[in-house]
Amino acid sequence: MRAEELERMQALDEHAGGKGISAVSYVSVGSGHAHEVQGAVVDESLVCISVNGEELATFMCSPFKLDQLALGFLYNEQLIDGRQDVRSIHLSKGESCVDVWLHDLEFRRPERKIVTAGCGGGVTFDDLSQQHEPLQSKKRASADQLANLMRQMHLGANLYQQARGIHTAALGADEQILVQVEDVGRHNCLDRLAGAALLQDINTVDRVLLSSGRISSEMINKARRLQTPIVCSRTSPTALSVALAESWNITLVAYLRQSRMRIYTHAERIVTN
């Protein structure tokens, strides 16, 4: 390996703190020519979350800022209402489990667990067949504002820019990104987003939620919990996510790329001229 390539790989590892992305070499083939490339791939680990000493859920995720992920998961699953419910969070020695201790020592793990369509098999304890009240919001945004927020999110996706293969999600105000996260799982991104917002005291109500990944039912359910009335994705929704967004008064925008988009539900919130 040439000296400059070695330095670049070392810089990648230092940036990721040994996690997030890893340096690799691969053979690139194009137009009949093959050559070795020093590049990077994203990390992925099996991590569990335990509450009051009892395992709650295990899933694949990016192995960094696991306190953020655990806190957001508990919030999105309506198992906590905020940081005030948490007594302490500890990362196990092997960094394979996040131990969360609540002030409520009577906490009992929900009986029903649903494996969702999320990358790596997402987990939720919420029953989407239950009725939830529609979001009450007067939030509006222009098509240009949404396109600008999506552009900002793409440019701010640091791990994606270096290695690809990772999702990102962001919470936006009218003109700026308030908080942004990355993870190999698109559903994990929304849990991380919730956790980051709680840790930074950022209000999620009436914000714009942006995601690089497909919007499926569990994604819309997390958006409902965060009370974000506008949800945007660079890619597609599912039929169930469209039905839930319609029922819960959430504006669902998909295929948001540059100035183009598809508004599937509650288009009255988006100013297009």
Q: Which residues are catalytic?
A: 119
CA distance 29 to 31: 7
CA distance 108 to 46: 23
CA distance 243 to 134: 12
Q: Are 226 and 193 in contact (CB under 8 A)?
A: yes
Please name which of 89, 119, 112, 110 lies closest in space to residue 198, comparing C-alpha atoms: 89
Cα 164 to the chain's mean position, in Å? 15
Q: Are 204 and 224 in contact (CB under 8 A)?
A: no
Q: Are 211 and 255 in contact (CB under 8 A)?
A: no
Residue 205 DSSP SS3: coil
User: Hunting for tokens 């958006």 — which residue is that?
Assistant: 223
CA distance 252 to 210: 10
